[in-house]
C-alpha cells in the first residue's frame, strides 16, 4: 500500500523534533557524543540549557497555533482527491484517523528534552538518538511501539520483530519491498531510530561499552575544529564536507566504470562524468564545524570552515577567496537604516571562465553551445566579459530603510543596492548602454531628485501599476553602482559615504544588538526582525485572494487547497514574532572561513489565555450545527 510506505517515512521525519521544543529541566551535557563513530559525515548534537527556557515558551505558542490551525484536514483532502475510488478514500481516511490517534499518544517534545543527536556515516550507518524526559520516557516508548505495531498490521509485507542485545531492546519493522528497516531501540534512558538493525546493535553495544571502535570526538580533525571554537553550551555541529564530495564523486565514477565494464552506453556514464568533474571542482572545503550558546536574550553561533590543501589551485576557490575584503562597511550604511548585508562577493570574470571550461570539457555539445553564444554576442554587438564583468569589482552592499507606505504585506521597505566598480566612466557608459536596449519597454529620465550627477529613474507601465507607482533609480558615484527604489534613500547613502551624515555605527540599538565589524571583513550583516513574523502572517493571510484567479475545476483543487493552507498558517507565523534582530560577520583567516552570528530575542511575557483561535474546533462545531439544521 502506497499509504503505508508514505506513513512509515512520515514517522521517521516527524520524530526529528525542532530544537526549540527542548525543555530545560537541567543543564544537560553532550554525553551521547561518545556513541558517534569516526568517519561520520555529519554530526549534530543539542543539549538542554535552562537559559533557553524563554525560547521554549515562545515556541510552545507556535506549535499550539499549528495544532489548532486544522491544516491536517486540508492535507488529507489534497491526498484523497488523487485517490481513485471511494473505497480507497474511505480506507485512507480510516488509516489517517488511526495515525492521528497514535501520534497523540507520544509527547514528541519530551523525546529531545535533555539531549538529541543525529549522525550520518553511510546509508546504513546513521541514527537519530534522544535522552528524553524521564517522567514520560516509559509512556513515550509504549506510544512509539504502538505506532510500529499498527504499521505492521497495515500490510501483509510488513512485520514487527523484537530483539535484545547488550541490555537493550530493538523493535524492527521490516518491509518486503525494501531492504531498509525502521528500528526503534532503547537502553536505559536512551532511545532512538536507525534504518538498519546492525546500526542499532552497534549503538546498544557502544552504550554498554561492549564495543571497541574509534570515536569521532577523538579524531584529529574533529579536535582541531573544536579547538578553534568556543566551548558549546547548546549545540555542536561537525560536517566532513571533503568526504561528502569524495563519496559523491566515487559514486559517479563507479557508474562510469560500470558502463565501461559492460561495454554499453546508455548515457549514464556521460552524466556521471559531468557530476564527477563538478564534484571535483567544488570540493574546496575540508570540514565545517559550529558551536552555539545562549547569553540572556540572545544566542551566539560560532563556525569555522577549513579549506582543503588543493583548494587554492581551483578556479572556484580563486573566484571566492581571492576577492579583497571590504573595509569600512559601516561608512556606507546610514544611521536610519533598518539593516544591511555586505559581502566581498565573487570574481564574476573568474566564475564565467570556470563555467565555460566546464561546458567545453564536460559536455559533448559544449563547444557548439559556446560557439553559438559567441555568435549571438557578435550579432548583438555585446560582449559579456567586456561590457559587464570587466568593471564589476565584486563587493556588494544591500541596505534597507523603513518605508513610508503601508501595504497588505506590512510596512514597505526601501532598498539601496551598491555594487563596487573599478572604473566609474566605463561602468556608467556600459550599464546605461545595456538599459538603452530596452528603451521600447522602459521609460528613462534624469533623476533630478538625486544629489549626484548622471543618475536616471526607470519606470515601466506594468511596474507602475503592480507596485504602486514604484520607480527604480540607478547611477554611478565614487566607485559604486547604485540601484534603488527610492531617491531619498540614495541621498542618505551618498551623504553617509561622504561623511556628511552619521552612519549606523552611531546607532545605540545597533551597538547593543549587532556585531560591529572592526577592520576588513568578507561579509557582515544586520537585520531588524522584530516584526518579521507579523509581516509574513499578513502575506500568507492574503493567500485567499488568489482563489479568485483559480478556476473551481478538479484539476485546480490541489492549488486551491495550498492557498487555503497558507491562509491557515497565518496565525502560526504571527506567533513566530519573538525575534528582535540578527547580525553576522565572516572573515577569511588563512585557509579558514571564521564566522559569528547573533540572534536577539524579545523576552517572554506569560499569557492569561491563548490568543490563537482553535480553527479546527470551530469548523467541527459549524458542521454539527449544519447537520442539526438539515435534520429539521
Is residue 10's pLDDT more than 50? no
Across the range 318-343, mean pLDDT stands at 93
Choose the weakest-confidence range: 270-274, 285-289, 349-353. Answer: 270-274
Choose the weakest-confidence range: 23-32, 141-150, 519-528. Answer: 23-32
Is residue 37's pLDDT more than 80? yes
Count of CA atoms in the C-beta half-sphere (13 A) of 210: 11
For residues 229 and 306, what is the distance between their CA atoms, to the nearest angstrom? 13
For residues 510 and 62, what is the distance between their CA atoms, to the nearest angstrom? 28
For residues 300 and 138, what is the distance between their CA atoms, to the nearest angstrom? 35
Count of CA atoms in the C-beta half-sphere (13 A) of 252: 17
- Please report where in the chains the cell 537604516 appears, as a residue: 337
Where do the H-state alpha helices sit in 33-119?
Answer: 53-69, 71-80, 86-104, 108-111
Nearest to 2 by CA among 110, 82, 116: 82
Asked whether the beta carbons of 285 and 242 are under 8 A apart, the reply is yes
Nearest to 72 by CA among 102, 97, 108, 89: 97
- Please report where in the chains the cell 563513530 appears, as a residue: 37
Cell of 76: 488529507
For residues 144 and 147, what is the distance between their CA atoms, to the nearest angstrom? 5
Count of CA atoms in the C-beta half-sphere (13 A) of 303: 18
Q: What is the pLDDT of residues 81-119, one digit of tens each?
A: 767 677 877 877 787 788 788 888 899 989 999 999 999
Beta-strand runs (E) in 232-274: 235-239
> For the chain, what percent of residues have pLDDT higher than 70?
85
Question: Rounded to the nearest 10 degrees, what angle do helices 71-80 and 557-575 cross at?
Answer: 160
Choose the weakest-confidence range: 60-64, 571-575, 612-616. Answer: 612-616
For residues 91 and 211, what is the distance between their CA atoms, to the nearest angstrom? 46
Is residue 624's pLDDT more than 70? no
3-state secondary structure of 481: strand
Question: Rounded to the nearest 10 degrees, what angle do helices 348-362 and 366-379 cross at?
Answer: 130
* Host H or E run for residue 427: helix 424-436
What distance, in Å, lies between the first and last C-alpha atoms of the chain? 42
Q: How confident is the model at residue 559 (pLDDT cuts 50, 70, 90)?
A: confident
Q: Which pLDDT value is given to residue 423?
A: 95
* Host H or E run for residue 165: strand 158-165
Burial profile 419-456: b = 16 or more Cβ within 10 angstroms, e = fewer: bbbeebeebbebbeeeeeeeeeebebeebeebbeeebb
Name the DSSP class of 230.
P
- Does the CA dihedral 428-431-434-436 come out positive or negative? negative
Q: How confident is the model at residue 23 (pLDDT cuts 50, 70, 90)?
A: very low
Choose the weakest-confidence range: 104-113, 150-159, 612-621. Answer: 612-621
Q: Which pLDDT value is given to residue 236?
A: 96
Asked whether the beta carbons of 15 and 36 are under 8 A apart, the reply is no
For residues 273 and 253, what is the distance between their CA atoms, to the nearest angstrom? 7
Question: Rounded to the nearest 10 degrees, what angle do helices 2-14 and 86-104 cross at?
Answer: 20
Name the DSSP class of 167.
T
CB within 8 A of 62, min separation 6: which ones?
20, 572, 575, 576
Q: Which pLDDT value is given to residue 33?
A: 94
For residues 576 and 55, what is the distance between their CA atoms, to the nearest angstrom? 11
Nearest to 416 by CA among 396, 436, 430: 396
According to DSSP, the residues that pair with 192 across neighbouring strands are: 129, 185
Q: How confident is the model at residue 264 (pLDDT cuts 50, 70, 90)?
A: low
> For the chain, what percent of residues have pLDDT higher than 90?
58
For residues 185 and 168, what is the distance between their CA atoms, to the nearest angstrom? 7
Cell of 515: 556585531
- Please report where in the chains the cell 499518544 appears, as a residue: 105
Tell which phi-psi region holds residue 267, choosing left (phi > 0), alpha (psi between -120 and 50) or beta. Answer: left
Asked whether the beta carbons of 194 and 200 are under 8 A apart, the reply is yes
Across the range 510-516, mean pLDDT stands at 96
* Host H or E run for residue 526: strand 523-528
Cell of 40: 561520520
Question: Do the bridges between strand 115-120 and strand 42-47 make them parallel or antiparallel, or are there none, so unpaired?
Answer: antiparallel
Q: Which pLDDT value is given to residue 8?
A: 40
Q: Which pLDDT value is given to residue 562?
A: 84
Is residue 344's pLDDT more than 90? yes
Q: Which pLDDT value is given to residue 98?
A: 82
Q: Which pLDDT value is given to residue 14?
A: 39
Dump the DSSP string for 592-607: EEEEEEEEEEPPP---
For residues 186 and 203, what is the distance between their CA atoms, to the nearest angstrom? 10
For residues 71 and 491, what is the distance between their CA atoms, to the nearest angstrom? 47
| Triad 431, 432, 435: Cα angle to 5° | 95
Q: Which pLDDT value is given to residue 614?
A: 57
CB within 8 A of 304, min separation 6: which ones?
225, 228, 229, 288, 289, 290, 592, 593, 594, 595
Q: Which pLDDT value is given to residue 232?
A: 93
Amino acid at each position: 500500500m502506497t499509504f503505508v510506505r508514505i506513513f512509515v517515512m512520515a514517522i521517521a521525519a516527524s520524530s526529528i523534533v525542532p530544537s526549540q521544543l527542548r525543555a530545560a529541566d537541567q543543564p544537560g551535557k553532550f554525553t551521547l557524543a561518545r556513541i558517534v563513530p569516526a568517519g561520520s559525515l555529519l554530526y549534530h548534537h543539542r543539549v538542554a540549557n535552562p537559559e533557553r527556557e524563554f525560547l521554549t515558551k515562545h515556541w510552545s505558542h507556535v506549535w499550539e497555533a499549528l495544532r489548532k490551525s486544522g491544516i491536517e484536514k486540508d492535507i488529507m483532502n489534497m491526498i484523497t482527491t488523487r485517490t481513485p475510488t471511494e473505497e480507497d478514500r474511505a480506507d485512507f481516511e480510516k488509516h489517517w484517523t488511526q495515525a492521528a490517534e497514535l501520534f497523540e499518544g507520544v509527547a514528541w517534545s519530551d523525546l529531545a528534552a535533555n539531549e538529541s543527536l543525529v549522525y550520518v556515516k553511510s546509508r546504513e550507518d546513521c541514527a537519530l538518538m534522544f535522552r528524553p524526559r524521564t517522567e514520560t520516557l516509559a509512556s513515550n516508548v509504549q506510544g512509539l511501539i504502538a505506532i510500529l505495531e499498527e504499521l505492521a498490521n497495515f500490510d501483509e509485507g510488513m512485520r514487527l520483530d523484537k530483539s535484545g542485545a547488550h541490555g537493550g531492546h530493538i523493535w524492527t519493522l521490516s518491509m518486503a519491498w525494501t531492504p531498509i528497516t525502521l528500528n526503534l531501540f532503547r537502553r536505559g534512558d536512551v532511545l532512538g531510530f536507525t534504518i538498519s538493525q546492525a546500526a542499532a546493535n552497534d549503538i546498544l553495544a557502544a552504550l554498554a561499552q561492549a564495543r571497541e571502535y574509534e570515536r569521532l570526538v577523538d579524531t584529529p580533525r574533529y579536535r582541531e575544529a573544536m579547538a578553534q571554537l568556543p566551548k558549546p553550551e547548546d549545540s555542536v555541529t561537525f560536517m566532513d564536507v571533503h568526504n561528502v564530495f569524495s563519496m559523491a564523486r566515487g559514486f559517479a565514477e563507479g557508474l562510469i566504470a560500470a558502463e565501461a565494464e559492460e561495454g554499453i552506453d546508455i548515457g549514464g556514464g556521460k552524466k556521471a562524468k559531468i557530476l564527477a568533474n563538478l564534484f571535483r571542482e567544488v570540493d574546496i572545503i575540508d570540514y565545517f564545524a559550529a558551536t552555539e550558546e545562549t547569553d540572556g536574550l540572545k544566542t551566539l553561533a560560532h563556525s569555522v570552515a577549513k579549506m582543503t590543501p588543493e583548494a587554492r589551485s581551483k578556479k572556484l576557490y580563486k573566484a571566492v577567496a581571492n576577492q579583497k575584503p571590504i573595509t569600512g562597511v559601516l561608512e556606507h550604511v546610514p544611521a536610519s537604516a533598518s539593516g544591511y548585508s555586505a559581502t566581498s562577493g565573487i570574481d564574476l570574470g573568474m566564475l564565467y571562465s570556470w563555467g565555460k571550461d566546464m561546458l567545453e570539457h564536460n559536455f559533448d555539445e559544449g563547444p557548439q553551445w559556446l560557439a553559438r553564444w559567441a555568435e549571438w554576442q557578435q550579432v548583438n554587438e555585446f560582449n559579456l566579459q567586456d561590457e559587464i564583468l570587466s568593471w564589476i569589482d565584486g563587493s556588494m552592499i544591500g541596505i534597507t530603510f523603513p518605508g513610508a507606505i503601508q501595504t497588505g504585506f506590512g510596512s514597505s521597505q526601501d532598498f539601496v543596492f551598491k555594487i563596487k566598480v573599478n572604473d566609474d566612466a566605463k561602468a556608467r557608459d556600459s550599464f546605461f548602454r545595456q538599459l538603452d536596449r530596452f528603451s521600447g519597454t522602459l521609460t528613462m529620465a534624469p533623476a533630478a531628485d538625486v544629489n549626484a550627477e548622471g543618475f536616471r529613474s526607470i519606470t515601466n507601465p506594468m511596474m507602475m501599476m503592480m507596485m504602486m507607482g514604484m520607480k527604480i533609480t540607478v547611477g554611478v558615484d565614487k566607485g559604486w553602482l547604485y540601484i534603488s527604489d527610492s531617491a531619498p534613500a540614495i541621498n542618505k547613502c551618498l551623504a553617509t559615504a561622504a561623511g556628511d551624515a552619521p552612519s549606523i555605527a552611531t546607532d545605540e540599538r545597533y551597538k547593543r544588538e549587532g556585531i560591529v565589524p572592526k577592520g576588513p571583513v568578507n561579509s557582515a550583516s544586520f537585520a531588524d526582525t522584530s516584526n518579521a513574523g507579523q509581516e509574513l502572517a499578513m502575506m500568507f493571510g492574503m493567500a485567499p485572494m488568489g482563489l479568485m484567479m483559480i478556476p473551481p475545476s478538479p484539476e485546480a483543487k490541489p492549488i486551491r487547497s495550498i492557498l487555503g493552507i497558507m491562509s491557515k498558517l497565518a496565525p502560526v507565523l504571527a506567533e513566530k514574532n519573538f525575534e528582535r534582530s540578527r547580525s553576522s560577520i565572516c572573515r577569511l583567516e588563512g585557509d579558514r572561513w571564521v564566522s559569528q552570528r547573533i540572534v536577539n530575542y524579545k523576552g517572554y511575557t506569560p499569557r492569561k489565555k491563548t490568543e490563537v483561535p482553535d480553527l479546527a474546533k470551530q469548523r467541527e462545531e459549524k458542521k454539527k450545527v449544519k447537520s442539526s439544521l438539515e435534520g429539521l
